[in-house]
Chain A
């Protein structure tokens, strides 16, 4: 078996393992998303352009929720329970703001940690569920949390929690539209960084489990730690998004977290693509813009989302970013005259809807 011997020797050589190590560097797409959020955060914003501020705020408010779906989709799991963890984060932040402190750092921390902890038992329940069955059960998780909120007098029942004070930072009140947007941008940046770090550290594990869990298991990769970690991170991201919704509306209301709203966040990722964080980012920006422009009434927004979901699933199975990536690779191949396929990307396969 000379080949095997050679491989072992190669791996053992002190100067050789460079090629064997997992590639842990940020991709151009991920860097672009981080850069865009950083620029929006540090550049002056047109405070008098209320429409622009409002639309940007709508995007950043739900971006973390889209990322929450994206993290699970890296494992080929459709997560419809995002509103549940948004509610946990949103209500935790609301209770903290009303009863403990209105410091924005504390509120973000609470909205990150509490949903992450809440995700652990649900993660254990869903640990052994696969494929579409996982999607079904996460829908039920959303419904359980929604019903629990409605039935709870301590959370205001169907009236929710109102009169939430605006957050502060070092004695400065952050109550106006621009300040709300900046909080949203900062939280979204934190969410993107968390996701990028998680996928960089666990990228190969995620790819292996998504491609063939049985084979990955036979090679020694235990799926449950990765799945549980992804589910907990997903919960934390959703929680931060829930805080942003509560902060924008200055009220924590059950209707903000109804089970069917989870469809929106899945749609952002399906339409944008699930190859990198650029997919959810593009999907969120595009769909929020389209809904605001063409379907301001809820009923038309539903039809628009439905139509886009069908179109994307039938004709753009890798989402917009995946399709553009493939087209670009095809054009480059044609231009350079190479006959081989484009550089393979583990995270842009057909199996990612």
Chain B
């Protein structure tokens, strides 16, 4: 029983970080209709920016994380403005561009920091011991910060003027544009927000596990599986799927090999697509 509870706590932490990743990914698809392959790169940048700020200019972890996340947001903003915006309605073209950007980001990071893992460390390493349970405080912090970020995103999207604008552009761009909303202003902001969420996940999680270039691909795959399961463009679906995937990985990983758990998970999601091609809560595929 203790093992199961332990797995549930780990699953919650995994699900929280997956939610940050998947919400950003789904947000960009929902607003711009763009499948953003650079999302894994933003996760990577979040980790490396935070690490660099701590090691090069000696910032404490929290300010380094905040500045690092802001830096990732700027990179995302510029990517949209310079590369995506000129062909934003060409969905295949924007996918290819984001993929190219991802390759460049990975290459730059690898050249700058090397292919091996860097010694990034989360500042809190205490472990709570409670009736046979061992719960790292770092994971509780990840859960709390992620939950806070998700709530903040919800407030932004559903309780602010800019959020209404983003959702309006997502629902019907032509009508929203006729109402005076400017896609050229909001599209880069949406990508910046998405990049910030991925960067936050990277900045928090990579010091706990490992910070090396290949984590970008893993983050990208996780984003894919979560949004495919939850449904492209559905933020609620993405959040629910993220928690579900995190739980399944943690519980499966307790009893099975990690690769086997992911294999079963990925296979189950692909099988689901036979019956629900749009995922659990996705929009019409014709819009994809």
Contact = CB atoms under 8 A, between A and B. Distances in A.
- What are the 9 tightest A-B residue pairs by CB atom distance, in nearest-first order? A306-B103, A309-B100, A303-B107, A133-B288, A306-B100, A306-B104, A310-B100, A147-B263, A132-B35
Interface stretch (B126-134, B175-183, B267-275): B267-275
Given A130-B286, A299-B111, A309-B103, A136 B35 contact: yes
Contact of B224 (A136, A270, A300): A136
Interface in A249-270: 259-260, 263, 266, 270
Chain B CB count within 10 A is highest, among A144, A147, A150, for: A147
A125 B92 contact: no
B239 interface: no
B266 A147 contact: yes
Given A129-B277, A131-B286, A314-B86, 14 more contacts: A78-B96, A125-B274, A132-B95, A136-B224, A140-B225, A140-B270, A144-B270, A147-B259, A299-B106, A305-B103, A306-B107, A310-B96, A313-B93, A314-B97
Interface in B108-149: 108, 110-111, 115
A302 B214 CA distance: 13
B273 A137 contact: yes
B156 interface: no
A139 interface: yes
B276 to A, nearest CB: 10
B104 A303 contact: yes
Contacts of B4: none
Contacts of B257: 151
B167 interface: no
A308 B95 contact: no
B228 A137 contact: yes
B262 interface: yes
B158 to A, nearest CB: 26
19 contacts: A76-B92, A128-B285, A132-B34, A133-B35, A135-B35, A136-B228, A150-B259, A299-B110, A299-B115, A302-B103, A303-B103, A305-B103, A306-B102, A308-B100, A309-B97, A310-B83, A314-B86, A317-B90, A351-B92
Interface string B231-274: 01000000000000000000000000101101100110111011
A197 interface: no
Interface of B: 34-35, 83, 86-87, 90-97, 99-104, 106-108, 110-111, 115, 217, 221, 224-225, 227-228, 232, 257, 259-260, 262-263, 266-267, 269-271, 273-274, 277, 285-286, 288
A152 B70 CA distance: 43
A307 interface: yes
Contacts of B97: 309-310, 313-314
B104 A307 contact: yes
B232 A133 contact: yes
Contact of B83 (A125, A135, A303, A314): A314
Nearest to A80: B99
A273 to B, nearest CB: 13
A125 B95 CA distance: 22
Contacts of B83: 310, 314
Contacts of A151: 257, 259-260, 263
Contacts of A305: 100, 103
Contacts of A263: 99, 103
B100 A313 contact: yes
Contacts of A306: 99-104, 107
A131 B34 CA distance: 11
A303 B228 contact: no
Nearest to B223: A136
Given A260-B217, A270-B96, A141 B270 contact: yes
A26 interface: no
A172 to B, nearest CB: 41
Contacts of A131: 91-92, 285-286, 288
B91 A132 contact: yes
A150 B90 CA distance: 36
A105 interface: no
A211 to B, nearest CB: 14
B266 A266 contact: no
A148 interface: yes
A217 B97 CA distance: 31
Given A310-B100, A313-B96, A140 B266 contact: yes
Given A300-B107, A317-B93, A147 B262 contact: yes
A270 B95 CA distance: 12
